[in-house]
Structures are given as structure tokens and as C-alpha cells.
């Protein structure tokens, strides 16, 4: 009401002046970008870093359409990437330092026994629709995440020692989280758990419709979040447009409210090559998830953009054999092959015969690192440096095979064939995803490496979904080459891969009890580190896990690509990190050097 009156008053006085200056006004705005000032009552987070200029429209391509904007059901990478820019969490992991930082929670305290966490929320915060945030929203959020009927993927992390975390409200700003057992993840737990607006969602939750809510086509006024951007427009098959959240709770050191950019546009561009073309033609401003070959193409023809190699990422590529215990369903052919696959010496021999250095050099053009364990050199805090980086050795591979009872027979043309103890030739096929040229290339190198050991290997490129179906459902395959990317540096992000009951325990997923002694030991160690507070203790346990994996080679780790990204020269504060969402982790600080010129583009 007061605002309106003020407007008319000013209107009357200035209308003549305004008309006179109307034609100069746009110029004036361009010359003096007006940052949004902040209110002293708000408890805002001040980010260090370069001071930017407001305005502009940042365009980035997305591999696929986000399936949902609902953080409770999002499982695909595009959805997670979009939601990351729209939602806020209590405690956040800084993607550059890989350490936790206060976010919506101003501070937290962990009790002496590690069982009780007291979090204090910032004062005066508002959702993107202007509704204030308080402890009730947090209570509601955790109730929803823990609700079994919602099937939130984050739920597993909130169950400690078989019991869900208990959340209590002390006052509007303070909450206590109670654990049944000490929890090794500590405050990292809160990263990525988007705090939900109770005022918008409670009704649907009570009606049991929450999981279906918030698709990309949701009207923007039915949506609210605590991230730097809020929903503006969605055009199916083309783009998702986010606009600046005027209530965002971060400022720069000069007190300007972040984010700097007015609009964030996600274009849906399915193929990696098409993304490169869009970036090259200037249609998109930032490109991430680049392959090494496209990176060097862009690097060679630089036209107004800079390319950055952020260093080794967390993706690990590996070969694994079908070690599933299929009982009667097993075909005779696979039974025979599993006799080799189950022998650790066979797997060690394959590992010894693989030329990892060539993979890094030829597949990643040197922009990657060879791997002997699942933790990449990019993950400096958790990698076990003691794991031997044994170079390729055909002699050792042959010695191991001989020990395991294999022998060679040579054909007339000089090629030798590896035979098992029953005199059968060693032949198997490797599945790869046909859409991933890098992995198909790796498989072709493996094929040649193993041929030199006398194994006859066929490479079978398969469409990704049918490949996953074969590996996890029908289990009709010999071996498979895949890659996984941990979303966090913490070992718990890969819990599902190492626990024998995990669905991503690829070589033998979802076992009711561990099939081998070493799998049982990994299970024990992983569960132990989950309940152990303190980095040193947990590191010791996880180091042992890495040792067991390197020894038994259920996965033959091959190589890890660097995180490669590029951005237009005009974009400042561009510092891609090796953690998802690579270039967008500091999206609130990105800005255009030439200010608002981009807004009119």
C-alpha cells in the first residue's frame, strides 16, 4: 500500500522530467548497474571474491531435459544440475576446497559424543516467493525426506545405525539433530538436502501427492526455493529459464546481493558434439563435461573463449567381470568363463597386462590420470597413496596366468592362444556404451592388450540403457567397461558401490550376504567408517578398503579424465571445480565483464 502511494507521488513530480529523459534512460542503466542493496535485519552470508556487475543472461547447455524439479525424486544428472541452482541446503560443501561451509545454517555445534548436532539458522531469510523461512520448514523437510512412501534417494544417508535421525525444534532459529550412533559423515550430511517450503508443499504432502509435484512445467508461482535462481519459464524440448532470486541470502564483500546474473538459461542439447558447436557459435556461454578431443578442438580454434583444465576429477573408469552367482539360470558358457573370472589371479593378470598409460595418452590426450584404485588423484584427502602403481608388465601377467593353471598353444601363424586348465581357449566379450566414444576406444585398447596375452576379446558397443539392463537385471554378459563419477569426495558417496548389498556393486549387485570373504571385509570396513567420527580414523579404514580392492581387482581400474570446461572471455569468476556441478558451483558469483550488454542479446 505504502509502496504504491510512494510511486504515484514520485510519478507526479517527475513525470515531465521523465518524459524529457526517456530516451537517455536505457543508457544510464547500462552505465551504472544498480546492485540490489540489502536489509540490515537479514543475517546474510558474505562471499569473498571478485566484485561483479549485475545483469546479463547466462546460457548453458544441458545433456537432457531435467525429468523433475523436485529434489525428493531427482535422480538424473540434468535434474540435479538444475535443482542445484535453485535450492539451498543447511551446510554446503565448497566445491573448490571440498570442505564444508555454513549455508542456511549460520553455525553448528557437535556434542562431545558426536550424537547431537545443534544448528542455528540465519535470521530474516526468505524463499524465492518472499515467504519467510524458519525452523518449521526444516522440520517439515526432514519429515518428508525420512518418509518411506516418498522414496527419496537421500533417505539412506539419514538412517544411522538403523534408526532415522530425530529432528527437534528449539526455537524459530535453532534445531537439534539427534543420532542413534556417531556418524562419520558429520555435517557433510546436510549438503545437497534442499530445504523445502512448507507453505507450498504441506497440503500435497498430506494428500500423498508430493512425489509427483514440481515437474519442469509447474507454474513458477507454485514453486519456491532458497537457491540463487528461481523458476521462470519452461519450453518442453527446448529450454528451461531461471531468473535471479531477489531474496537470495548471499552478498559480495561490498554488500551487493548475489547472484549477479539476471537469467540462467539451460538449453537442451542432447549430443556432446552439438554442445561443442553451440558453444563455438556463441549460443552458449559455458561448456562443461567436455571430452579431451573436443577440448583440444576448442582450444585450437580459440575465438573469444578460454578453456580450463580443472585437473583430475572423481570419475573412474574400470573393467569388471560378471561374478554374479546365478545358480541354475547360469548358461554353460558363462559357467565355464566364470571359472576364470572368479580367480583373483586371472583378474590380476588382466590388470597387469593393461596399458593404462596408453589409455591416458591416447583416449584422454594426456588430460587424465591412470588408476590403480577407485579413488582418483583428484580426491587428495581420501586417496591411498600407498597402493602400488605397477606399470604394465606382460611377464607378470603371464606368470600369474601360469600360476592359475592357464597355458598357451601357438598356432601356425605365430599367434598364441591362452587355454584354461580344461584346454578351452579363453574368449570373452566386453560390453561398452556405444554413445561413449572414449570407453569404446578404451575397450579397443584392452582388446589389443589382452590379445598379446593370448585372450580373444570382442568389443560389443551397446546402447546405454540395454547395457545397464544386462548388467543389473538379466546379468547376461561376460565383462563390461563402465565409469562412475562420485558426486562428493567423501567415501560415503560410493557406499552403494562397495557394499555387497548395494545396487551399484556392479560385478555382483544386491547380494543378500557377501559372497566372498574380502567382500565381507569391505562391508565391515565401510560400515565401521560410517560410524567413526574423525577424518584420521576413517581414512585408515578407507585406505584398507582401497587396498582390498587393489588386491582382489573386482574392478580393474583404468583411468580418470580431467574435468574440462570452457567459458566466454566475458565471463568472470569462472573457476570450474572437479566436483559436480563443475562450472556452476559458484553460479551466484559469475558475472559478465561487460555488464548488461548481454541482457539485450
Nearest residue (CB) to other proteins, 212 versus 331: 331
Q: Which of residues 42, 43, 136, 273 is near other proteins by CB under 8 A?
A: 273
155 vs 392 by CB, closer to other proteins: 392
CA dist., res. 138 & res. 549, Å (int): 39
Instruction: Give the separation between CA 596 and CA 601, rounded to whole angstroms.
Output: 9
Q: Which pairs count as long-range contacts for 337-340, CB under 8 Å and 24+ apart, including other chains?
A: 337/428, 337/478, 339/420, 340/404, 340/406, 340/420, 340/426
Q: Would you count residue 42 as binding other proteins (CB under 8 A)? A: no
Q: Are 265 and 240 in contact (CB under 8 A)?
A: yes
- Look at residues 363, 366, 312 and name the one whose alpha carbon lies nearest to residue 563: 312
Span interacting with other proteins, options 227-235, 416-424, 457-465, 558-566, rule CB under 8 A: 457-465
Per DSSP, the three-state class of 457 is strand
Cell of 580: 559436480
Helix, strand, or coil (residue 24) = helix
For the segment 366-385, give every residue that binds other proteins (CB under 8 A).
366
Nearer to other proteins (CB atom), residue 154 or residue 444: 444
x/- site string to other proteins, residues 132 to 151, per CB under 8 A?
Answer: --------------------
365 lies in the site for other proteins, by CB under 8 A: yes
Query: Among 434, 438, 475, 481, which Cα is nearest to 457's?
Result: 481
If the CB atoms of residues 254 and 300 are measured against other proteins, the closer one turns out to be 300
**Does residue 435 belong to the site contacting other proteins (CB under 8 A)?**
no
Question: What's the min distance (Å) between Cβ of 368 and other proteins?
Answer: 14
The 3-state DSSP class for residue 565 equals: strand
- DSSP secondary-structure letter at 520? H
The C-alpha atoms of residue 239 and residue 65 are separated, in whole angstroms, by 8
Interface with other proteins (CB under 8 A), residue from 447, 496, 511, 528: 447
Considering the complex, state which of residue 355 and residue 580 has its C-beta at the smaller distance from other proteins: 355
Q: What grid cell was written down for 221?
A: 508461482
362 binds other proteins (CB under 8 A): yes
By the rule CB under 8 A, 460 interacts with other proteins:
yes
Among 216, 291, 312, 554, the residue binding other proteins under the rule CB under 8 A is: 291
Q: Is 114 exposed, middle or buried (0-12, 13-18, 19+ CB in 10 A)?
A: middle
User: Applying CB under 8 A, does 458 fall inside the site for other proteins?
Assistant: yes
The residue (of 386 and 412) whose beta carbon lies closer to other proteins is: 412
Give Cβ neighbours of residue 398 (< 8 Å, ≥ 6 apart): 349, 453
- SS3 of residue 427 by DSSP: strand
Beta carbons of 49 and 589 less than 8 angstroms apart: yes
Shortest distance, position 457 Cβ to other proteins, whole Å: 9
Examine residue 413 and tell whether it contacts other proteins (CB under 8 A).
yes
Residue ranges binding other proteins (CB under 8 A): 273, 276-277, 291, 293-294, 296-297, 300, 355, 358, 361-362, 365-366, 413-414, 429, 431, 434, 437, 441, 444-445, 447-448, 458-462, 476-478
Amino acid at each position: 500500500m505504502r509502496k504504491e502511494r510512494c510511486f504515484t507521488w514520485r510519478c507526479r513530480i517527475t513525470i515531465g522530467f521523465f518524459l524529457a529523459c526517456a530516451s537517455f534512460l536505457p543508457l544510464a542503466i547500462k552505465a551504472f548497474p544498480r546492485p540490489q542493496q540489502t536489509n540490515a535485519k537479514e543475517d546474510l552470508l558474505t562471499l569473498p571474491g571478485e566484485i561483479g556487475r549485475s545483469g546479463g543472461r547466462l546460457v548453458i547447455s544441458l545433456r537432457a531435459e531435467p525429468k523433475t524439479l523436485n529434489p525428493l525424486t531427482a535422480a538424473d544428472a540434468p535434474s540435479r544440475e538444475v535443482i542445484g541452482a535453485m535450492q539451498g541446503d543447511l551446510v554446503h560443501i565448497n566445491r573448490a576446497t571440498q570442505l564444508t561451509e555454513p549455508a542456511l545454517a549460520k553455525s553448528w555445534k557437535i556434542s562431545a559424543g558426536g550424537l547431537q548436532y545443534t544448528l542455528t539458522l540465519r535470521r530474516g531469510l526468505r524463499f524465492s516467493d518472499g515467504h519467510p523461512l524458519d525452523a518449521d520448514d526444516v522440520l517439515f523437510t526432514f519429515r518428508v525426506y525420512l518418509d518411506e512412501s516418498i522414496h527419496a534417494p537421500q533417505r539412506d544417508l539419514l538412517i544411522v545405525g538403523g534408526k532415522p535421525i530425530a529432528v527437534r525444534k528449539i526455537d524459530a532459529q535453532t534445531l537439534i539433530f539427534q543420532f542413534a550412533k556417531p556418524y562419520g559423515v558429520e555435517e557433510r550430511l546436510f549438503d545437497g538436502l534442499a530445504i523445502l517450503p512448507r507453505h507450498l508443499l504441506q497440503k500435497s504432502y498430506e494428500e500423498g501427492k508430493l512425489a509427483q509435484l514440481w515437474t519442469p512445467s509447474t507454474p513458477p508461482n507454485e514453486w519456491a526455493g532458497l537457491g540463487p535462481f528461481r523458476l521462470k519459464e519452461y519450453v518442453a524440448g527446448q529450454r528451461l529459464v531461471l531468473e535471479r532470486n531477489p531474496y537470495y541470502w548471499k552478498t559480495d564483500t561490498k554488500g551487493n546481493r548475489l547472484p549477479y546474473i539476471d537469467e540462467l538459461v539451460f538449453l537442451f542439447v542432447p549430443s556432446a558434439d552439438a554442445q561443442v558447436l553451440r558453444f563455438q557459435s556463441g549460443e552458449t556461454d559455458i561448456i562443461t563435461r567436455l571430452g579431451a578431443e573436443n577440448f583440444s578442438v576448442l582450444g585450437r580454434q580459440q575465438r573469444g573463449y578460454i578453456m580450463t583444465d580443472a585437473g583430475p576429477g572423481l570419475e573412474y573408469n574400470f573393467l569388471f567381470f560378471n561374478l554374479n552367482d546365478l545358480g541354475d539360470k547360469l548358461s554353460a558358457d558363462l559357467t565355464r568363463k566364470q571359472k576364470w573370472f572368479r580367480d583373483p589371479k586371472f583378474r590380476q593378470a588382466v590388470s597387469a597386462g593393461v596399458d593404462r598409460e596408453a589409455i591416458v595418452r591416447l583416449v584422454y590426450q594426456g588430460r587424465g590420470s591412470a588408476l590403480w584404485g577407485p579413488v582418483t588423484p583428484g580426491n587428495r584427502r581420501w586417496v591411498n597413496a600407498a597402493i602400488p602403481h605397477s606399470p604394465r608388465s606382460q611377464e607378470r601377467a603371464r606368470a600369474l596366468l601360469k600360476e592359475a593353471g592357464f597355458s598357451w598353444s601357438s598356432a601356425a601363424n605365430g599367434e598364441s592362444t591362452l587355454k584354461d586348465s580344461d584346454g578351452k581357449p579363453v574368449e570373452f566379450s566386453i560390453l561398452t556404451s556405444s554413445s561413449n566414444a572414449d570407453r569404446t576406444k578404451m575397450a579397443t585398447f584392452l582388446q589389443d592388450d589382452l590379445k598379446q596375452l593370448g585372450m580373444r576379446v570382442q568389443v560389443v558397443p551397446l546402447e546405454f540403457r540395454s547395457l545397464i539392463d544386462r548388467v543389473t537385471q538379466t546379468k547376461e554378459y561376460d565383462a563390461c567397461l563402465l565409469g562412475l563419477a562420485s558426486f562428493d569426495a567423501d567415501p560415503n558417496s560410493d557406499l552403494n558401490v562397495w557394499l555387497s548389498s548395494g545396487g551399484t556393486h556392479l560385478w555382483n549387485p544386491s547380494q543378500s550376504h557377501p559372497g566372498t570373504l574380502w567382500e565381507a571385509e569391505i562391508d565391515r570396513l565401510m560400515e565401521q567408517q560410517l560410524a567413526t567420527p574423525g577424518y584420521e580414523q576413517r581414512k585408515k579404514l578407507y585406505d584398507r578398503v582401497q587396498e582390498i580392492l587393489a588386491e582382489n581387482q573386482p574392478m580393474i581400474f583404468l583411468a580418470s579424465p580431467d574435468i574440462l570446461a570452457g567459458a566466454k572471455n566475458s565471463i568472470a569468476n569462472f573457476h570450474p571445480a572437479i566436483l559436480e556441478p563443475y562450472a556452476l558451483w559458484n553460479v551466484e558469483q559469475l558475472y559478465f565483464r561487460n555488464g548488461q550488454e548481454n541482457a539485450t542479446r
